Structure 1
Amino acid sequence: MNLWLQLLPFVVTTAFCKVTLAEIFAYVAYNDSSKCVAYKALPACFGPRLPAEGLTGYLVRVIPPNACHAIENPPAPRQASETYIALIQGYGCSFVKKVLHAQQAGYQTAVVYNVDSEELSTMMADDKEIQQLIEIPSLFTGQSVSLHLQRTLQCAKGVYVRLLPPKLYLSACQENTKMLEKTFTTKDCRDLFYITIANTLIIVGLIWYKRAHRTKLHTYKKGDKHETCVICMAGYKEGDHLKILSCSHAYHSVCIDTWFRTLPGKKTCPFCKQSVNTYGQGDLLPEQAGEDANEEEWDQEDDAFREGHEDEYAEEEKDDASSVEGERFDAPENNIT
């Protein structure tokens, strides 16, 4: 129970980080009569924001796909309100150049997707002059949007989608970078949480294994399954102190201690010759601990008694010494007499 209480802060932190992480995402949503599918995306740190109510239009794959050069114009709109969104592969040249080519071709928005990966990246502007020319919003998303477009494409125009802005919209590059740093910190925190859980389980398993396979101390009682010590070949008596090895064989404590002292290296059971763990070898039985405590109490009482009667001992020694000296002086007188 204490272990779970210690791990509770990691759980709360991970849950909080997941909530915070979800706030920075925009979404590319596709709707039809039967289902709605939404894919995560990150707004670029250059160009205008998506409108607060979102933006809808036809998602069209551009030619050439990576938009590193001038691309073809979108289909002619049948209505003035029709919007076209450029779907661009995210490799080959800078993000800001891709978006500029989409803007020059007549697209109102650009969606750049990661090729062969769902990992999201922040689109930064490496050219300040081109950045100032950007007048359309743009997003970066994973490859799922492109795969979905291939599955659902039914006409030359493309797929009708809706781009939803994030709740916490940060348009400045510096602020967006800080938010991404928080995102990576969150990922590191989550990884640390999983590592902590794994290490805890390993430690608990090792402790359990050591306790399960250590040498156990036991006081023999009548009716126990252990009968004879194979070292001294004597039967166990009521109250004998035994040691049960990890292989489940039992011996007199004195006998097995002597046996282990005769083995220079690995400790083995005298009966089955299996390697045994001597962990717990130095533990004391409750009865032994009580006997040691009683011996200490007797020693303390003897010391206290001696301290309280030191004066008496000193006087008695003086009397004895004086009596001896008197006898020594009397002896010559007797001899003279």
Structure 2
Amino acid sequence: MSNALIFLAFALAIFPPRVHSSHSDWLRRFTPGSRDDSSWLWSWAWAADGTVSVVDRSPPITFPARPASFGAELNDPLLGYVIPLSSFTAPCPYGPDNSTSRRHRFEPDPVFGCPELCISGGNEPEPTDTWIALVQRGGCPFVEKARQAQKLGAKAVVVGGDRDNPDALLNMFSEKDASDVTIAATYIKYWDYVQLSAMIAVSNTTHSGLKTLSLLISTEYSAWEWYSPIITFIIILLLPSLLTFITLLIHRIRAARAAQRDRAPESIVHSLPWRVWTGTGWEKHKPSCASAEGASAAASQDLERGLDTPNASTSHDVALPAWVEQQMECAICLEMFGKGDRVRVLPCYHLFHIDEIDEWLINKKKLCPICKADVTQPQRSPAGHHATEHVPQTEPGASTSSRSPSTVAEPTERTPLLQRPERTSDELQSAS
């Protein structure tokens, strides 16, 4: 954010806003693809409200308008006679024998107000009168229309829309220097231009021999018109960072939810049984609601009373294999269990220091660090965890050759990798 403010201050220092026409020109210099007839972005960002009213009609007829970003700023309404340029001008003559030569790449047209135009006919507005030029969009840039109207003596110019985009209310601007334009310019919609032209054609009011109407141009500039370039620039600058922040936030939330699903609830962990190693055997403790400190104090008191009964083992509802009672090392800290150590018994019958395994299950994973068994699932039979070799007893006198393949002990994790296969009775007879 600080870098954005520094860059914005640097840009303002290089391109300071001077007059109304430069409120947005300094930022448009960064847009080489800008057009003279505006676009939707500039129309949204630098739009100002205005009106064009025919005041010699009762009630007055008002058309919505949009002032240009170049030219004079109308702090007060401008009242004058509106005169179409096509009613008293024509393209200036030019040729090899004439001193007047074409200086523009576009064709002069009185309807569009494109230069070079010269006075045609005996009637023309007085230079001291306040009159407003009326032209239509097209043929040349907006700023050229304003220059031509200013050259002919108009105090303002009203540009009407075209048939291709009749409902558009554009914000006229120039991507080049327009500081020489000192008159006001405003834009109205196409159908409003058609209605205004028709009213002038049937008007009974004349000025200097030309049909005209009394027109009032007013503009209402808001604070947004001044601050919109800065706000738009900041939004465009910070939008990628904002989208990146939102993406990372969503990712972190999903990751936190996934991690929470992988953890075991504290109530389940604290309900698991635990033991105390007395030095010669295990002392079983059932899970209770007491705190870990209380359990530790109780275990210490039991040890002080001499409850270190030899071979004090935990009783279970089912028979446990020998490996359960033979665990003497915590797989997390790799330390041997010492006298008075509190040990948690997981549903898979693996033993760990109670503080270490609780930290693991609650804050990391709900799986046993050794066998990856889920502690939130029901207990499995210990025989299903570590299968032991079980060879059924055969009846007396039964031949060893009648042993079916299904009675052969299946290999387990305790089965040696290298062992001699059992020899059948046929092999023994042949060997003898």
Structure 1 length-normalised TM: 0.41
Who wins on radius of gyration, i.e. which is larger? Answer: 2
TM-score (norm 2): 0.33
Greater RCO, CA 8 A, separation 6+: 1
Q: Indicate the structure with greater helix content.
A: 1
